[in-house]
Structure 1
Amino acid sequence: MKPLFTLLLFALLFSCTEKTKKAETIAKHIKLEKGDLKLPNYEALLDLNLVLEAPKPGEWLYDHYEKGQSYGDYIKSNPVAPFEDIKTIYIQPIGEFTDWEQKIINWNTEYIELFFNLKTIQLPPISEKSIPKSKQRIYYGNEQLDATYIINTMLPKKKPKDGIVIMGLTAKDLYPKPSWNFVFGLASYKKRTGVSSIARYSEEELNETNYSKCLMRLIKTSTHEISHMFTIKHCTYAICLMNGSNNLNESDSRPNGLCSECLSKLSWNLNFDNVSRLNKLIAFMETHHLSDDASFLSKQREVMLIQK
């Protein structure tokens, strides 16, 4: 019996070691052949950055100290990157949605695929009943779900084998810990999971005439949180999609677009064609009446198209 026990123990240890190695490889994989990639006409693109002014009371950077993350820092951080057959983004709806909420979630899935240039699949919805009662609460009349439980316990079990990241979506409000009122979204760098809520994204019943604002807010939060999963930290360099935000007014004042620094990070990591990507994003914005965001991205595209 002893030789068999030893063999089984060795097999178990080998299996665990291989799984650990694969997880570490995903986190540390860097495409070094990309070298010091610079965006087309980078210096002109840099001039488009909008100045991030000194934070005012109530704004994110007024309450949270963040030193930022340069392009060089990002490369050295060994960021999460698509790897071999692990390169699909998954969207996991949680709970029930109205017809218009579901339309917005479907468009959000479409947009995420365009934004990251990675295959994005929406999974069948799962019930809120799978979240323990102890991880739900009523706060000032709002039903809230524990975002930390969702990203750390629920979603890791739901992520398919080829999933590089998984993002949960819910119509219920979220809170990250008991001392916080709410959070728009939350992500885990290590587990490559995130969750976003549309609960605070519309002041009235959604319809054909008013859905654009809710969609604008959801695609902003979703791409922000997924960018975190690709190891991009909050931006302190310019006005940018990756700025932290404390409230809707602050979030709404940020574009659905990256500054030159954050765009360099994502472009280096995911190796997409920048102009082709922008063409698709702008077309999406125009279809859904998001003219301000379309204008922001069009300026970047115009600069990238200029011949050196």
Structure 2
Amino acid sequence: MATQPSGLDMKTPPRRRKRRAAPWLMLALSISLVAGTVLLSNDMRHLRALTPLLGYDLNPQKVQQPPPQVVEVATPAPLQSIKIPPRLIDVAQPELAGNFLRTWRMSGPDMCETLRKAGIEMTTWRASAMGSSAYECSFQEVYKEDGERPLSSVFLIIRGDRKGAISNMRAKIVGPVTDSAGRLDPSFMRVFETVLAQPHWPDLHDALSAIRELKDVRAEGFGASIFFSREFSSENSFNFILTIKAAPGPQTRTRAYFSTGRWMPAPDKEVSEALPPIFR
């Protein structure tokens, strides 16, 4: 009687479940690769559109920068050539200053010489004895004195600078001699007549009649002033001042324009010839 084989000797067939799962895994992997390729293509445009539906946001908001400001730069105007009249850059001519403002028509030394020719013994034009930078010439005549005190005298002084420019003229008379009508004696009057005649200021000549009668005079005009008055401390003494002092404003500017000390020296002839004609 044949013996039937036991169950242990029989081979166990492979499980079909594992064989069936392999194709599905391959299919899922293929689908994943295709989907990943599609989602990541075109700069992940499809993925960025899908993530908001799943609660994610792959599009962080960019901070908007303000638009750049456009600065308009003004176009410079083209340079234009202009012509300057020579009279605007011409050197000031001091001799013409008298047409606009009173000036001394002669220097200090010349004035002293003119007075000497008129019989008034002025000293030479020299540095002031006070040790300052002023220059002067003077005249003094004592007609009557009591010891060291003059009872009748006349004193005249003209002051200026080293170059001879006059600053003022002053005179003092003590105990003047007068005639029966109270008019000043010609020996005293000669000083004032000569001083006022040299500047050639006709409007100030009217002061001579008041001085002759020993009356107070205060007059100004075009920067010049004249003063003649009795002293407060002595009724028999009189002071006289003639000076030029420009008033603020146009007179000061005119004086500054005609002052040669404010102008630059003229260039050398060779340099001047090299300049354009308008600047010569």
Greater relative contact order, per chain length (Cα 8 Å cut-off, separation 6+): 1
Query: Is the structural similarity TM-score above 0.5?
Result: no
TM-score of the aligned structures, taking structure 2 as reference length: 0.23
Larger radius of gyration: 2
What's the TM-score, normalizing by structure 1?
0.22
Q: Which has the higher strand share?
A: 2
- Structure with greater helix share of residues: 1
